[in-house]
Structure 1
Amino acid sequence: MKALIVDDEKHVRDGIKILADWEKNGITEIYEAGNGEEAIQLILSIRPEIIFSDMKMPKMDGTQLLEWIKENQPNRKTIVVTGYDDYHYMRKAIHFGSSDYLLKPIEPGILNQTLEKAVNEWKKEEEDRLRKETSTLLINEMTPVYRDRKLTQLVNNDHLQKDLFEEFGWLKQSRGYIVALVQVNGKTIETFQGDRDLTYFTILNIINEILKETGCGIGFRYLTKKGKIVLIFWDKFELVEEILVHIYKTLKNMLDVSCPIAAGKAVNNSCKLIDSYQHARKVLLNRNILTDCKSRVYLSDIEAPPSLKSLIVYSSDIEMAIQTGEIRAFEELMDRIEKDIIEKEYLSVRQVINLENEYMVISNKWFKHYNISFKTPEDIEERIDFFLDSNGTFSLEKYKERKTREITIFLKKVKKRALQRSNNIITDIEKYLQENFDRDVKLQEISDHFYISREYISRKFKQEFNENISDYIVRIRMDKAKSLLKNSQLKIYEIANMIGYQDDKYFRKVFKKVVGITPNEYRAKYVK
């Protein structure tokens, strides 16, 4: 595997090269670039799997580079490295598919965790890509499977064989095409006891029976994207809306499932089917899932959807809620976020996906902060399916309840970790006192050293050791003094100085108060 480090500061590039455990992650070649333009040339020539990129650089900055990578090299895994803890940059990194967002100065542990995660994600996705490529080589004798594979290739504008035009005669006859998209969600598959193949087989039979009557289209399972059925229309475009509504209602009546359908824009060439597909997908993602309607057939973007609301802007509020440690603070915050997001009574799938992505980034940040393990869900769209009812309407209440449960579990883990940390800190304070018993250690010094309030230290220490810090220090000093009195010929004032008392008269007074006899009497009693 290859990695590319893009940063205009050479010492940063050198730092990443030194700190990263390349060999452990199977990376054998590391390249460098000083800006986005240099990076693009290298990406095109060496095709690195992992790319580290700064955000602020001359000529072409990190945002422009990430956008180019997403559009032209989407299989690459990018990791943003920047000195700016800015939600604007973080949001851009999320938008353009960056695996993670690291702040300078870089901590070796976090760097290598992030690198390992990116490499594992790339390997998993590469396995999926290879599996799909291998499967396309094995043409199944079953007509539906063969048809699905060939038509998926057609939509993706893959290298087509000439005989495909003979197999699908409408390719030669039609002067235009419209691609429609049918969403098959998890609840639909549950209707068939989780049998995905049976789900598609049944739904496609219904769809193609309807399309056969008009002779203007064909439906197939889109193999590139899980959960999608694609319809291609090559004629009678004026009937497309009527046919799609008929398909939706038939599926609803026969199977009692809601399969949202969106139609893309018309294109004039089979090579542009992917453009119509992408438009249909955009329409599907922008549909309003708050409304309860009888037919979920969407022909185009009727109006520009509201701009996406960002969860990142609530970062400081989330931090305050975490500090309270109470779920009530989060419930109040969620009510505010809900009000902001649906102020226009509009909530799209795209908005929920965006919120989920940002929720994952923020959650990951806090789980890392408290050193709590965190598993990122694989398919966000499938998570959204859980909150759609049989009519395809999104339940905000169920969604909030789920988030409340997740946050409650997180807060419990934080409290448990805080208790462990509290006990560890008191042990560390005890060790600190033992190492510095011969100095006049003030409570404020301990507070500054351990970043904990004086009141908390004083209270917690008393609970743990049943005595205050000053008495604890005196006890340590007296134990040391007794040892020196028994095992050395040092003078009393020398012992006093060694254990932190400049005035040996004061030392004698304290010793007698604690031990019950004077230092001389103690020495005479224990030293023969």
Structure 2
Amino acid sequence: MKVLIIDDEKHVRDGIRLLGDWEDNGIGEFYEAENGEDAIHLIQEHRPEIIFSDMKMPKMDGTQLLEWIKANHPKSKTIVVTGYDDYHYMRKAIHFGSYDYLLKPIDPEILNQTLKNAVEEWKKEEADRKSKESSYQMINEMKPVFRDRKLTQLVSSDSIKDELYKELGFQLSQTYMVALMRMDGKTIESFQGDRDLAYFTILNVINEILMECDCGIGFRYLSSKGEIVMIYWNKLDQIEDRLSQIHQTLKKVLNRSCPIAIGEAVTGTAGLLQSYQHAKQVLLSSNLLERKEKRVYGQDAIQIISPKSLMSYSSDIEGAMMAGRIEAFDDLIEDVTNDFTEDRYLSLKQLLHFENEYQVISNTWFKHYNLPIGSSESIEKRIDPYFDAEGTFNLEDYKKRIRREISVFLKKVKKASKQKGNIIHEIEKYLQSHFDRDVKLQEISDHFYISREYISRKFKQELNVNISDYLVRIRMNKAKSLLKNSDLKIYEIAGMIGYQDDKYFRKVFKKVEGITPNEYRDQSSEK
């Protein structure tokens, strides 16, 4: 296997190369680039399986490079290297399919775990690709699969032989329109999990209706999971009525609503991909919260709304995590819900993006607490159970699932924390290390990302003393040690333990110990 490291800073490239367990992961070839333009040349020449990329680079930045990789070398696993606060770049990385990201400075353990996961994922996908290629070769002559493959190829590249059109049942025309139907996991379940039987049944219904008017053909779109594409070449003015008929018939057969989106009219077969992509945007823009008997969407389904990002709530999530209670997340879940579903509108695109970011953030926190990350479900498997038979998304049940997952995670963190010592012990250590200056409660709150009220209450509960008195106790113990074991002046000792005014120090010392510093020193000398 080959790896490419892209960063304009040589020491970062050297660091990644030095820290990685390359041999253990079967990587034998290394390439380096200082910017995106150089990286593209190396990718085209060597086709690396694993790519590490910085986001801030000259000539072509990481965002542009990730977009190019997604379009031209999608099989590779890209790991973004970025600064902690660069959430803008993290969002871009997620959008363009980055496998994971590393924060600078790079932690060797996290680097190698991420590398191992990326290699394993690439090998798994490569095995799947080879298995599918083998399967397609075996059933190439089976008419339905052969048709699906060739029509998928037609939409994607316009490169099938002319003599195949008639054999496939496809008619040439000047103008075409593409419609797209999404088939979710629950639809497959209604066929006892037999995906092939589900496609066969649904396509029989679709093509029987389309053959009656000799206006189009439907097929399984093999380039995207769970999609059926219909190409119309005739009676385009009746397409919505025909799709409504298909939708209603399938709803009776399946007892489920399968959403259908209509793409724009295009000229010639070369425009089929454009019409498909437009239909996909329509489908992704459909409002999942809307109760609708007929889910056939046209151009009016597209709404121009600024995308919402869960990454913008990172500081709120961090604060709730540090509080360690599920109740701390309740208001946050509601705030995110209100933000993401403004005017009771939630698009499929927004939901998929939320789930993607949610999994990235979840995995980050699992790594933060050194907890094992379970086998992650696909995004489709996570959201499909929350669509009812009418195709409406059950937002409340979905929120309950998120809350349950967070609650389970917090319990795991709490259990792990008992073994490692709780946060109050960490605050004790902090105070012991900074006793020589005036440590404010707000400083502790900012440092540990916990509210001042929680720290004050919890500290008093566990140690039976408030923070200011605890700090005085540390200082007095240090002062007594210096009085016993050194010839330092009283004002020198006062300065060393955080008191600029030695008179005030003498006053506090006498209040706590019952005698003055000089008297304490004299008594210690006599002993």
- Give the shorter-chain TM-score range: 0.7 to 0.9
Cα distance in 1, alignment partners of residues 290 and 33 from structure 2? 49
Query: Which residue of the partner structure matches residue 27 of structure 1?
Result: 27
Query: Which residue of the partner structure matches residue 256 of structure 2?
Result: 257
Whether the 8 Å CA contact 1:81–1:104 is kept in 2: the answer is yes
Cα distance in 1, alignment partners of residues 435 and 412 from structure 2? 25
Query: Which residue of the partner structure matches residue 146 of structure 1?
Result: 146
Question: Residue 265 of structure 1 aligns to a residue in which SS?
Answer: coil
Query: Which residue of the partner structure matches residue 330 of structure 1?
Result: 329
Post-superposition shift, 1:355? 0.7
Whether the 8 Å CA contact 1:180–1:232 is kept in 2: the answer is yes
Question: Residue 217 of structure 2 aligns to a residue in which SS?
Answer: strand
Evaluate the alpha carbon distance shift between residue 166 and residue 313 of structure 1 in structure 2; reply closer, same or farther with a 3 A threshold: same
Question: Residue 69 of structure 1 aligns to a residue in which SS?
Answer: helix
Query: Which residue of the partner structure matches residue 190 of structure 1?
Result: 189
Question: Residue 135 of structure 2 aligns to a residue in which SS?
Answer: helix
Post-superposition shift, 1:130? 2.0
Cα distance in 2, alignment partners of residues 447 and 180 from structure 1? 70
Query: Which residue of the partner structure matches residue 415 of structure 2?
Result: 416
Query: Once the two structures are superposed, what CA deviation does each residue of 1:13-46 show, in whole Å capped at 9, x if it has no partner?
Result: 1111111111111111110111111111111111
Post-superposition shift, 1:74? 1.8
Cα distance in 2, alignment partners of residues 508 and 252 from structure 1? 97
Cα distance in 2, alignment partners of residues 454 and 318 from structure 1? 21
Evaluate the alpha carbon distance shift between residue 458 and residue 396 of structure 1 in structure 2; reply closer, same or farther with a 3 A threshold: closer
Query: Which residue of the partner structure matches residue 231 of structure 1?
Result: 230
Cα distance in 1, alignment partners of residues 53 and 154 from structure 2? 35
Post-superposition shift, 1:426? 7.8
Query: Which residue of the partner structure matches residue 519 of structure 1?
Result: none
Cα distance in 2, alignment partners of residues 425 and 289 from structure 1? 45
Question: Residue 81 of structure 1 aligns to a residue in which SS?
Answer: strand
Query: Once the two structures are superposed, what CA deviation does each residue of 1:433-480 show, in whole Å capped at 9, x if it has no partner?
Result: xxxxxxxxx9824989xx999998998799xxxxx999xx9xxxxxxx
Letter in 1 for 2:30: I
Query: Which residue of the partner structure matches residue 498 of structure 1?
Result: none
Whether the 8 Å CA contact 1:262–1:298 is kept in 2: the answer is yes
Evaluate the alpha carbon distance shift between residue 271 and residue 133 of structure 1 in structure 2; reply closer, same or farther with a 3 A threshold: farther
Post-superposition shift, 1:156? 2.6
Query: Which residue of the partner structure matches residue 122 of structure 2?
Result: 122
Whether the 8 Å CA contact 1:175–1:269 is kept in 2: the answer is yes
Whether the 8 Å CA contact 1:91–1:312 is kept in 2: the answer is yes
1:187-226 alignment runs, 5 A limit: 187-226=186-225
The correspondence for 1:444, drawn from 410, 414, 432, is 432
Whether the 8 Å CA contact 2:5–2:13 is kept in 1: the answer is yes
Cα distance in 2, alignment partners of residues 289 and 20 from structure 1? 44
Query: Which residue of the partner structure matches residue 496 of structure 2?
Result: none
Query: Which residue of the partner structure matches residue 367 of structure 2?
Result: 368
Cα distance in 2, alignment partners of residues 158 and 50 from structure 1? 31
Post-superposition shift, 1:153? 2.5
Query: Once the two structures are superposed, what CA deviation does each residue of 1:100-133 show, in whole Å capped at 9, x if it has no partner?
Result: 1212211110111111111122222222222222
Whether the 8 Å CA contact 2:281–2:302 is kept in 1: the answer is no
Whether the 8 Å CA contact 1:447–1:454 is kept in 2: the answer is no
Question: Residue 344 of structure 1 aligns to a residue in which SS?
Answer: helix
Query: Which residue of the partner structure matches residue 497 of structure 1?
Result: none
Post-superposition shift, 1:329? 1.6
Post-superposition shift, 1:157? 2.2
Query: Which residue of the partner structure matches residue 499 of structure 2?
Result: none
Evaluate the alpha carbon distance shift between residue 51 and residue 181 of structure 1 in structure 2; reply closer, same or farther with a 3 A threshold: same
Question: Residue 201 of structure 2 aligns to a residue in which SS?
Answer: helix
Letter in 1 for 2:353: N
Query: Once the two structures are superposed, what CA deviation does each residue of 1:334-375 show, in whole Å capped at 9, x if it has no partner?
Result: 111111122222100110111111111111111111111123
CA RMSD of aligned residues (A): 3.2
1:97 matches 2:85: no
Query: Once the two structures are superposed, what CA deviation does each residue of 1:143-190 show, in whole Å capped at 9, x if it has no partner?
Result: 32332232222223275345423423644x322222211111111122
Evaluate the alpha carbon distance shift between residue 407 and residue 426 of structure 1 in structure 2; reply closer, same or farther with a 3 A threshold: closer
1:107 matches 2:107: yes
Letter in 2 for 1:153: Q
**Structure 1: stretches of 5+ with no match in the other structure:** 433-441, 463-467, 474-502, 510-528
1:14-413 alignment runs, 5 A limit: 14-139=14-139, 141-157=141-157, 159-168=159-168, 170-171=170-171, 173-375=172-374, 377-413=376-412
Post-superposition shift, 1:278? 1.9
Whether the 8 Å CA contact 1:426–1:461 is kept in 2: the answer is no
Post-superposition shift, 1:136? 2.4
Question: Residue 294 of structure 1 aligns to a residue in which SS?
Answer: coil
Query: Once the two structures are superposed, what CA deviation does each residue of 1:76-114 show, in whole Å capped at 9, x if it has no partner?
Result: 211111235221121111111111121221111011111
Cα distance in 2, alignment partners of residues 366 and 319 from structure 1? 9
Letter in 1 for 2:318: E
Post-superposition shift, 1:301? 4.8
Letter in 2 for 1:404: R
**Structure 2: stretches of 5+ with no match in the other structure:** 437-446, 449-454, 465-469, 478-520
Report the TM-score when normalising by structure 2.
0.80
More deviation, 241-250/414-423 = 414-423
Whether the 8 Å CA contact 1:444–1:454 is kept in 2: the answer is no
Evaluate the alpha carbon distance shift between residue 271 and residue 332 of structure 1 in structure 2; reply closer, same or farther with a 3 A threshold: same
Whether the 8 Å CA contact 2:282–2:297 is kept in 1: the answer is yes
Cα distance in 1, alignment partners of residues 344 and 226 from structure 2? 27
Structure ID, larger Rg: 1
Whether the 8 Å CA contact 1:360–1:376 is kept in 2: the answer is no
Cα distance in 2, alignment partners of residues 200 and 112 from structure 1? 41
Cα distance in 2, alignment partners of residues 424 and 343 from structure 1? 37
Cα distance in 2, alignment partners of residues 122 and 103 from structure 1? 22
Query: Which residue of the partner structure matches residue 477 of structure 1?
Result: none
Cα distance in 2, alignment partners of residues 455 and 348 from structure 1? 43
Report the TM-score when normalising by structure 1.
0.80
Post-superposition shift, 1:328? 1.4
